[in-house]
Amino acid sequence: MATELNLDILGTSFSITTDEDEEYLKKVLAQYTKAVQNTQKISGINSPLNTAVLTGFLLCDEINKIKQQTENESAEAKERTMNIIAALDKALKDCGNV
């Protein structure tokens, strides 16, 4: 079911139509609005276009940092798992069960 969401950000109003849930869209809009406000606060930029562009850049930076952290944690978990398997294999061989 298509959902229409009216946006009013940085003095620009428009509507988007998507298959996403309305509550989800409102949550995303609230996150973006908060990000825009934070960008304005830390940068002092008053231009709506510049604010939107910088906010997009900062959000992409945040996404990439989260992805990198997730990849690092996944690699660490894989390494730990392999170490546990190796230790279990060794213990089973030492007991003569393998």
Per-domain residue ranges of the chain: 3-95
Mean pLDDT, the chain, integer = 91
Mean per-residue pLDDT, 55-84: 94
Mean per-residue pLDDT, 26-55: 94
Q: What is the pLDDT of residue 98?
A: 53
3-state helix, strand, coil in the chain (%, to 5): 70, 15, 15
Burial annotation 58-73 (CB, 10 A radius, 16+ → b, else e): beeeeeeeeeeeeeee
Q: Which of 2, 61, 64, 70 is nearest to 35 (CA)?
A: 61
pLDDT band, residue 27 (cuts 50/70/90): very high
pLDDT band, residue 97 (cuts 50/70/90): low
Q: How much is the pTM?
A: 0.71
